[in-house]
Amino acid sequence: MSFSWASSIEGVDYIENAQLSKHTTLKLNVIGDLALVKTPDALKILVREISKRKLSYRTLGWGANQVLSGTKKALYIKLKFEFDREILSSPRERYHLPASAPLNALQSHAQKFGLVGWEAITGVPASLGGAIVMNAGTALGEIGDFVESVEILSSSGDLRTHRVMEGSFVYRGNTFLNEGDIIISAVLINKGQDPSISEKIKDYMNYRKESQPLRAFTCGCVWKNKGPYHKAGLMIDKSGLGNLAVGGLEVSSVHSNFFENNGEGTYDDFQEL
């Protein structure tokens, strides 16, 4: 199946048989067709054309919490929207940001100006859109706590805006996205400023460096925790499974809820492990 027609859409860079390891943090050796989309209008045209042709697509954020299988039956889409960093030059009441905005830039802004609640995203390697999809967070909180609204493109190419309310987000997930939906942008809110936030972010980054394999190829924590007293990594350790390895992947010796890829890992290795 070819998606070569996508190259005719202005604002879309189409790459056939792309090495997708470059677009994920786990770096599995996976090949697939890739569309780099530069504008929301281009994305709307692309998605409508895919729908009209009855084809499939999968959306990549930073690929930091994704395990790609590789397929010729679906087009991988990565957003490369323009991001004006001037919006982060000073604190403001609201921030209207593209889905492709990097979370590390938002973390730096929060640290510089002490934005309350934003410490929740400390050290999370993600785009804004990907982080909202899974309600990314840390022991310090979740991103859903300071999202006001989300602009969404449906699989049929229609736009809608979801205003966040109680129940919009759940642990590592959300209740407002349908299959095939792509986040275009979001509005984040400033919940106040506190000078201590800067030190809190710094301390948590140091903690992550000591307790997680940040230099290794991983996809972050593999398993969800079952609750505050049932941490996945601890359960793996207690089960005596902390030294398992399959092919190019192994359970991390630094934190058992991470799988490390030595550079040779495959999708099948991940599934078996």
Each residue of 225-247: pLDDT tens digit? Answer: 887 778 899 999 999 999 899 99
Q: Are strands 74-79 and 31-37 parallel, antiparallel or unpaired?
A: parallel
Residue 231 amino acid letter: K
**Structure confidence at residue 160 (pLDDT):** 98
Beta strands in 171-228 (DSSP E): 173-174, 182-189
Q: pTM, whole model, 2 decimals?
A: 0.90
Measured CA to CA, the distance from residue 124 to residue 208 in angstroms comes to 10
CA max distance for the chain:
54
End-to-end CA distance of the chain: 30
**Total number of residues shown for the chain:** 273
What pLDDT, on the 0 to 100 scale, is given for residue 43?
A: 98
Phi, psi of 14 (to 5 degrees): -100, 130
Distance between CA 27 and CA 45 in Å, rounded? Answer: 30
Report the relative pairing of strands 182-189 and 147-153 from DSSP bridges: antiparallel
Q: Which long-range contacts (CB under 8 A, 24 or more apart) does 253-256 make?
A: 254/211, 254/212, 254/213, 254/216, 255/211, 255/212, 255/213, 255/221, 256/232
Query: By the 8 A CB rule, do 22 and 30 touch?
Result: no
pLDDT of residue 121: 96
**In this structure, what DSSP letter does residue 86 have?**
G
Token couple for 198? 């800067």
Q: What share of the chain is helix, strand, coil (3-state, %, to 5)?
A: 30, 25, 45
- In the predicted model, is pLDDT for residue 224 greater than 90? no
Backbone φ, ψ for residue 18 (5° rounding): -75, 145
> What is the DSSP-derived secondary structure letter of residue 177?
P
- 245-253 long-range contacts, CB within 8 A, separation 24+: 245/273, 246/272, 246/273, 247/272, 247/273, 249/273, 252/213, 252/216, 252/218
Question: Is the predicted pLDDT of residue 12 greater than 80, yes or no?
Answer: yes
pLDDT at position 193 over 80:
yes
Q: Is the pLDDT of residue 111 over 90?
A: yes
Q: What share of the chain has pLDDT > 70, as a percent?
A: 100
